[in-house]
Structure 1
Amino acid sequence: MAENQVENNELLLTRVFNAPRELVFKVWTDPEHFCKWWGPKGFSLNVSKMDVRPGGLFLGSQTSPEGHVMWGKFVYQEVNAPEKLVYVQSFSDEEGNTVRAPFNPNWPLEIINILTLTEENGKTTLTLSGGPINATEEERAAFEGMRPMVQQGFVGTFDELDNYLASQQ
C-alpha cells in the first residue's frame, strides 16, 4: 500500500460553518486560535509547537476536566491555504515521539486527516476524511470498533469550533 493511502475504513465528516473560509483555515493553523477550541468540551489544549508547513509539526497536550493529560502531534503533509490541510495525527510524549494511545494498545499509531474547505455565500463547508495508515489488522479493527466514538468526538470538537468562530466575527 502506498504511504498515506487511506484504507477502506475511512472516516468522512462534513459540517457547514457560518464563517468565511479564510477565517476557518486561520483558526486551524494559528496556535493563538487553535488552543481555544480544539478538543472535546471542557478540555484545555496547551500548544507546545505549531509549525504549519509540509513536514512541520504540531505538538500539544490536552487536559481533561479531571486533570488527565494526553500528548499528541500532527505532522503536516500538505498545506494549501485556505482550502486544504493534510496531516498525520498520532499520540506522543512531551518530546513528540510517537507512542501508543493510553486507552487502547491496538489504536493505530498514525491516522491521516484530510481537511478541505469550500466557501459559498460566506459559509464554509468543512470536509474531514481520514483513517489509519500503515496499520496492522488489529489497529484497523480497533479504529473501526471505535468509529462511533471518534465521530462523536469530532462532532463535539466541531461544536467548539462553531462557537469559537461565532465569537471571532
Structure 2
Amino acid sequence: MSKENVINSTKMNTDECELVITRTFDAPRELVFKVWTDPEHLKHWWGPKGFTIDVTKFDLRPDGVFHYCMQSTNGHEMWGKFVYREIIAPEKIVFINSFSDEEGNTIRAPFSPIWPLEVLNTLTFSENEGKTTITLRGGPINASETERKRFVEEFESMKQGFGETFDQLDDYLNRV
C-alpha cells in the first residue's frame, strides 16, 4: 500500500484541465471495486475525514444517481451526487460529480461561487500481485474559463481531500 498520492495536471486542450490522482491499495481489485459500488460500503469511507455519510439514493447504472449527505461532527451538512455515465466491473467507473440540494438538484459549491457545477471523473482499477491501483482523472465540464481556472487553483486542496478519503478507504479495506 502506498499512502502517497501521485498528482499531476495536464492541459487536455484550451478548454479543459485535468486532475490525476493515483493510489495503490493492498487489496484485490474486485474488493476495491465493490466498496466503490455498494452503498453499504461507501457510507463507511467516502468523504472528508470526520464526516458521516447518509446515502439517500444509489442507482449504479448509466444515468443512475448516487445522492448523499455529508455531515460534520458539528452538524454542518453538505449534499452531493454522482451521475454515472459508464460502469465496467471491475475496471472502470465514469461519473459526473456535483454539489446538490436535498432534492438532488445540482447547485453551486457552498465554498465558492466560481467552482465548476460539474466535474467529470474517470476511475480506473488495475491489479498487480493482489494490489489495486486506482487512477482518478477529473476535470470540469460545461465550465467557464473562470471556473476552470478555479479548479486548477484548488489542485493542492483536492489532493489533500482525496488523500484523506483514500486514507479512509485504505483503513476500511483493512477491516472488510
| TM-score (normalised: structure 1) | 0.94
Which of residues 7, 11, 21 in structure 2 aligns to 1:13? 21
The reply on whether 1:73 has 2:77 as its aligned counterpart is no
Percent identical among aligned pairs is 60
Q: Is residue 98 from structure 1 mapped to residue 109 from structure 2 by the alignment?
A: no
In 2, Cα distance between the equivalents of 1:136 and 1:8? 10
Structure 1 partner of 2:172: 164
Deviations 1:13-54 (A, max 9, x none): 111100010100000010000000001111111000111111
In the other structure, the counterpart of 1:58 is 66
CA deviation after TM superposition for structure 1 residue 141, in Å: 1.4
**Which structure carries more relative contact order (alpha carbon 8 Å, separation 6+)?**
1
Q: Distance in 2 between matches of 1:145 and 1:64?
A: 25
Matches within 5 A, 1:29-68: 29-68=37-76
Runs of 4+ in 1 over 4 A off after TM superposition: none
The 8 Å contact of residues 46 and 53 in structure 2, kept in 1 or not, is answered as yes
With normalisation by structure 2, the TM-score equals 0.90
Q: SS in structure 2 opposite 1:108?
A: coil
- Matches for 1:17-28 after TM superposition, within 5 Å: 17-28=25-36
CA distance in 1, matches of 2:48, 2:78: 13
* Other-structure match for 1:84: 92
Contact 2:16/2:140 (CA < 8 Å) preserved in 1? no
Q: Look up the equivalent residue of 1:126 and give its one-letter code.
A: I
> Could you tell me how far apart the structure 1 residues matched to 2:59 and 2:159 are?
26
Q: Which residue of 1 aligns with 2:128?
A: 120
Q: Distance in 2 between matches of 1:32 and 1:164?
A: 12
- Give the Cα–Cα distance (whole angstroms) in 2 for the partners of residues 40 and 70 of structure 1: 11
How many residue pairs get matched?
164
- In the alignment, residue 100 of structure 1 is paired with which amino acid? R
Higher percent of residues as strand: 2
Consecutive unaligned residues of structure 1, counting only runs of 5 or more, are none
Q: CA RMSD in A?
A: 1.3
DSSP-derived class of the 2:102 partner: coil
Task: Measure the CA separation in 2 of the matches of 1:8 and 1:92.
Answer: 23
1:53-99 per-position Cα deviation (integer Å, ceiling 9, x unaligned) = 11100100001122110000100000000000000000001111000
